[in-house]
Amino acid sequence: MPRHRFRPAAIAHARDLAQREDLPCTYDLADLRRAPFGTDSDAAFGLVMMISGQLNVFRRDEAYAILKRACDAFTPGGQLLLEPQRFATVVASGSAAPSWYAAADGLFSDRPHLQLKESFWDEQARTSTERFFIVDAATGEVTRHAMSNEAYRDDEFEALVVTAGFDDVQLLPSLIGVEDESQSVNLAIAARKPAH
């Protein structure tokens, strides 16, 4: 499913699930860098989660701004839960060998296509970049996509969260709190907005 369809479909699925479970949740499709966060007492958040390595896709200044805005929108004592990619995970993705495959459909096209991928690791910037070239099987048309990830060491993650206004920061080996091979590419970070 193409990206432009994936995000609305994920929101629709979350809304349906919340309705079935009778959960008082609200879901919005927005650019996290610009989305308004609730700041009044009626809209304040008790929990903010960003999982599946998504924090790494933002430039460092953007990641800080998102976390700062989240902290400002929290109720006192509100909980932050992050699941960023580990430093080694970002290095590995940027150091991967070129690859390709053919597919009937996928993230970048809902038509049969060939996907070519190349990866780069920039040691100085500590950033990985993956470039995807999608060749339409019927027309030969080529579209290009790219994704970059920032690599953080554990102490840099902790400093980022503290600088954004959180305390009681805990770095955990996984979302379940213990080593878990199925979650080994990411780590978990829990923190709270100070209660005062």
The count of domains in the chain is 2
Let me know if residue 3 belongs to a domain: no
Chain position carrying tokens 């990866």? 119
Q: In this predicted model, what pLDDT tens digit does every residue of 129-145 receive, in sequence order?
A: 999 999 999 999 999 99
Asked if 75 and 121 sit in the same domain, the reply is no
As a whole number, mean pLDDT of residues 181-195 equals 91
Asked if 72 and 160 sit in the same domain, the reply is yes
Asked if 50 and 70 sit in the same domain, the reply is yes
Asked if 144 and 156 sit in the same domain, the reply is no
Burial 85-109 (b: 16+ CB within 10 A, else e): bbbebbbebbeeeeeeeeeeebebb
Domain span including residue 95: 89-149
Let me know if residue 25 belongs to a domain: no
Give the pLDDT of residue 183: 83
Let me know if residue 38 belongs to a domain: yes
As a whole number, mean pLDDT of residues 141-169 equals 96
The answer, yes or no, to whether residue 184 has pLDDT greater than 50, is yes
Give the pLDDT of residue 13: 83
Give the pLDDT of residue 3: 45
Give the pLDDT of residue 32: 87
Is residue 7 very low, low, confident or very high in pLDDT (cuts 50, 70, 90)?
low
Let me know if residue 19 belongs to a domain: no
Tokens of 54: 């998504």
Let me know if residue 26 belongs to a domain: no
Asked if 63 and 114 sit in the same domain, the reply is no
Is residue 181 very low, low, confident or very high in pLDDT (cuts 50, 70, 90)?
confident
Q: In this predicted model, what pLDDT tens digit does every residue of 44-68 receive, in sequence order?
A: 678 888 888 899 999 999 999 999 9
Q: Which of 43-57, 142-156, 160-174 has the lowest mean pLDDT?
A: 43-57
Let me know if residue 69 belongs to a domain: yes
Q: In this predicted model, what pLDDT tens digit does every residue of 66-100 receive, in sequence order?
A: 999 989 888 888 899 999 999 999 999 999 999 99
* Residue spans of beta strands (DSSP E) within the chain: 45-50, 74-82, 99-103, 113-122, 127-136, 142-150, 167-172, 188-192
Give the pLDDT of residue 146: 95
Is residue 180 very low, low, confident or very high in pLDDT (cuts 50, 70, 90)?
confident
Asked if 170 and 119 sit in the same domain, the reply is no
Asked if 118 and 80 sit in the same domain, the reply is no
Let me know if residue 40 belongs to a domain: yes
Q: In whole numbers, what is the pLDDT of the chain averaged over residues?
A: 89
Let me know if residue 164 belongs to a domain: yes
The answer, yes or no, to whether residue 4 has pLDDT greater than 80, is no
Tokens of 64: 């800080």
Asked if 48 and 99 sit in the same domain, the reply is no
